[in-house]
A and B are shown apart, each in its own frame.
Chain A
Amino acid sequence: MEAEPVVEVLGAQKRFTGDLALDGVNFRMFAGEVHSLMGENGAGKSTLIKAMTGALTLDAGIMRMYGEEVSFSNPGAAQRAGIGTVYQEIDLAPNLSVAENIMLGREKSRFGRVDWEHMRTAAADVLSTLGISIDPRSPLGSHSLAEQQLVAIARAIATDVKVLVLDEPTSSLDQDEVGELFRVIRELKSRGVAILFISHFLEQVYEICDRITVLRNGELIGEYLPTELLRIDLVQKMLGREASTLEVLRPRAVPTTPSGEAATLVSVRGIGRRGALQPTDLDVFEGEVLGVAGLLGSGRTQLARLLTGIDHADTGTLELRSIRRRFHNPRAALEKGVAYSSESRKTEGIIAELTVRENIALALQAQKGWMRRIPRARQQELCESWIEALDVRPKDPDRKAGTLSGGNQQKVLLARLLALAPQLLVLDEPTRGIDVGAKVEVQRLIGELAANGMTVVFISAELEEVLRVGQRIIVMRDREIVATLDPDAVTFEMLLALVAKADDGD
């Protein structure tokens, strides 16, 4: 009864030095269907897509189109086979015209001479069939991101495309633009194009998709129909649930002032940033571990970045120990003892080329500046003590940080920040992409730090973790805080429901 899939991937396997990005993943797409690939960061989505579109080759596994085995060595080959891709960053040439961006690479040429007229009319045709009116002669860069995205789609379908991959197409679009995009998607569906829709906006996925595949930690969790899968179950499958045999790691109680009240370390009122976070109020008490639970896109990273001076808030105020502060940059925040550990370890954390010792001493040296160099012996001492304290393996200060495993890299980053003796440590997804053993170690460390008086804000999409480590939990969704909870009073299911916003109808 089921028609043959247009594209099928079987047993996909891919390893990136140390990280198993894909482990035996099966995936298939049918004509005229919108299929959504779901999973948190590090689940393997982009690796699978890159393999399907020819941007990388798999270590193992086969790919079939219409039953025939295929293998793409470069994006051009995949395009010629009928797989069109629209990337999140809209990979087109902003300095060329819209017509060229749509047609370049497959334009008609007479005696080697590009036929401009034909290019313009062909481009105009494609645009009009999609119901978009943009001047084909205008430079791409002169249009809004939403329009550029539609041009990218036009390019993808200008050839006889069988599969269209849309990678996070709606992250920069407003409501109207999303509506426009969905109209185009439905138009393509009716033409029999198989569409792969990747997005972390659950509502959009449920609105437009006919089929959902969930990946987690490089493994296939399953393929489902949205009508048969409750939103809450989808989130659960994305986040997973490990057996809660590990003991509760949070310290006994939040330290209090003599009067019995918890002292407030940081207090924000109405802090917000357009397009990133709704105006928000939050109090962080001294010595506590505040868990922030929320999915990608909930505004959790944005909140962290506003707290620590990385982004500028459009509205609102921040008080540190009752003194109004405005952090203009991370350096200013660090000077006041507010430290941030990014969720993108590789690009915003570890300096892969430098040694472990240099990575750990980095922030401290930065604080001291150019002139007051930390003596080599002191650096060594510092590094060795932190390696010991955090159990970094291998115990070699002169190893290049890029060669360490994810878990150990995270520890090195922690050491770097802890060397500054901060008052507030904001950790964004510190255990992401780390194996279970290392995860537990990091979680335990956080508990120990808090027991010694450190204030920690701990952000994670893994609800188990947040429940285990946090003394207080805030739930974020749709760029605002929706609930503040006591972890003792809430179960995993309740937290899941809040994070996923299960409606009555779900």
Chain B
Amino acid sequence: MNATATKAPVSSSMAVPAWRRAIINKSSWLPVVAGATLLIVMFSVAQVKFEGRFIKPGVISSLFVDNAYLIILAAGMTLVIITGGIDLSVGAVMAYTDCLAAFLLRDHFPVWVVIPMVILVGMVFGLITGILVQFFNVQPFIASLAAMFLARGLAYIAAQRQIPVDNETILGLNNNKIRFGDWYITPTVIIALVIVVIVAWTMAYSRFGRTVYAIGGGEQSAKLMGLPVARTKVLVYVISGACSGVAGVVFISYTAAGYSLNGVGTELDTIAAVVIGGTILTGGSGYVFGSLLGVLVFGGIKTFISFQGAEQSWTRIAVGVLLLAFVVVQRLIVARANRR
């Protein structure tokens, strides 16, 4: 037997001071904390730059209302990314559910039929992607890309031209502002936040949620641990699809029209928000609350640019650069902490 120096006995991990242990135990929250810190910094800078006009109830409330759909999409996407996969179809599925809903509403289908139906359609897309990934061994990138093309194509068929929506209930979701002084909130924001809470709870407290994390930690290991990997993997895509459906309803109440070019590029915005929010793209680590922060950062950047008065076309460029800087700084903060 090799005679290497004797190491401390196995119980050494208990000798680490309590505060240190707390940090180690919660180390996967570090990227989220980093994101939150930078969010605060960004808002502070903006507040100073725009002489106190940035952090105002109207602006913040509007931030939530304008990005409610993105919050919902990000919640679903977080799960998919934690398993190490990706869902490129969310923008297109959202567009299709938009167009389908507008189409049906124009033909006087009742609202309480249309909404569940489009959510179901979203879930079907998710099911297709999930089955391709799990049972046909297609890479998530390709599988969801296929779903994306399918959904976008169907959206064009459903609405060759914009279909205006005048349904009171749907529009009311966005337009009924519930006011608290100068702050206001809409049903769409409530829906978004409720979804975040539900998904976060599921991730933290259900066996399904823990299995999602386990798959991200190592799919082969999760299988060998006897966890229901196949079922879970398909389910995360179904959930993402459901979120796309809900986001579609929210979006249609926001824009008051079903349009086949809705949500082009939204999947990338969603992924950006999730990554800013501290979810690692390779999987295994991430929190839905982090993704919520990510959406706020994303939306905050857009608001910042519009305050700046820059041309719309600069927004994308600025967003790209700022995102890059954001993510790099976040990684540096985390890397420094991990090196100890």
Contacts and interface: CB of A to CB of B under 8 A. Distances in A.
Interface of A: 55, 74-76, 79-80, 85, 87, 91-97, 100-101, 104-105, 107, 109, 112-114, 116, 132-135, 137-139, 142-144, 146-147, 150, 155, 174-178, 180, 201, 203-204, 275, 478-479
Contact of B13 (A79, A143, A479): A143
Contacts, number: 131
22 contacts: A55-B224, A76-B227, A76-B228, A85-B224, A87-B224, A93-B213, A93-B225, A94-B218, A96-B210, A105-B225, A105-B226, A113-B205, A134-B10, A135-B13, A137-B25, A138-B24, A139-B28, A142-B13, A142-B24, A146-B10, A147-B13, A174-B7
A178 B27 contact: no
A481 to B, nearest CB: 15
Given A138-B13, A155-B225, A176 B6 contact: yes
A132 B27 CA distance: 23
B221 A92 contact: yes
B285 interface: yes
Contacts of B222: 93
Nearest to B24: A142
Contacts of B220: 91
A203 B3 CA distance: 14
Contacts of A87: 224
A175 B10 contact: no
B317 interface: no
B106 interface: no
Given A93-B221, A104-B225, A147-B13, 20 more contacts: A74-B223, A87-B224, A91-B224, A92-B225, A95-B217, A95-B285, A96-B213, A100-B214, A104-B210, A104-B211, A105-B225, A112-B206, A116-B205, A134-B11, A144-B7, A174-B4, A175-B2, A177-B10, A178-B1, A203-B1
Contacts of A176: 6-7, 9
Nearest to B220: A91
B207 interface: yes
Nearest to B224: A91
Nearest to A132: B10
A478 B1 CA distance: 7
Contacts of A91: 218, 220-221, 224-225
Given A104-B210, A135-B14, A75 B224 contact: yes
A132 B10 CA distance: 7
B140 interface: no
A478 B4 CA distance: 13
Given A85-B224, A105-B227, A155-B225, A95 B13 contact: no
B258 interface: no
A155 B9 CA distance: 20
Nearest to B222: A93
Contacts of A138: 13, 21, 24-25
B35 interface: no
A144 B13 CA distance: 10
A135 B221 contact: no
Nearest to A178: B1
A441 B220 CA distance: 39
Contacts of B290: none
B294 interface: no
Interface of B: 1-7, 9-11, 13-14, 21, 24-25, 27-28, 205-207, 210-211, 213-214, 216-218, 220-228, 284-285
Contact of B6 (A79, A85, A132, A175): A175
Given A75-B226, A142-B24, A93 B214 contact: yes
Contact of B28 (A74, A80, A95, A137): A95
Given A93-B214, A104-B210, A113-B206, A76 B226 contact: yes
The CB with the most chain B CB atoms within 10 A, among A80, A100, A176, is that of: A176
Contacts of A175: 1-4, 6
B210 A142 contact: no
A143 to B, nearest CB: 6
Contacts of A85: 224
A104 B21 CA distance: 22
Given A109-B207, A134-B13, A138-B13, A94 B224 contact: no
B207 A107 contact: yes
Contacts of B24: 138-139, 142
A135 B228 CA distance: 27
A133 B10 CA distance: 7
A201 B14 CA distance: 31
A204 B27 CA distance: 38
A96 B217 contact: yes
Given A105-B226, A139-B27, A142-B27, A96 B13 contact: no
A343 to B, nearest CB: 21
B7 A133 contact: no
A6 B284 CA distance: 38
B19 to A, nearest CB: 13
Contacts of B7: 144, 146, 174, 176-177
Nearest to B280: A95
A95 B27 CA distance: 10
A216 B3 CA distance: 31
Nearest to A101: B225
B226 A174 contact: no
Contacts of B214: 93, 96, 100, 104
B233 to A, nearest CB: 15
A147 B10 contact: yes
Given A91-B221, A93-B222, A105-B226, A180 B285 contact: no
Nearest to A176: B6
A88 B284 CA distance: 21
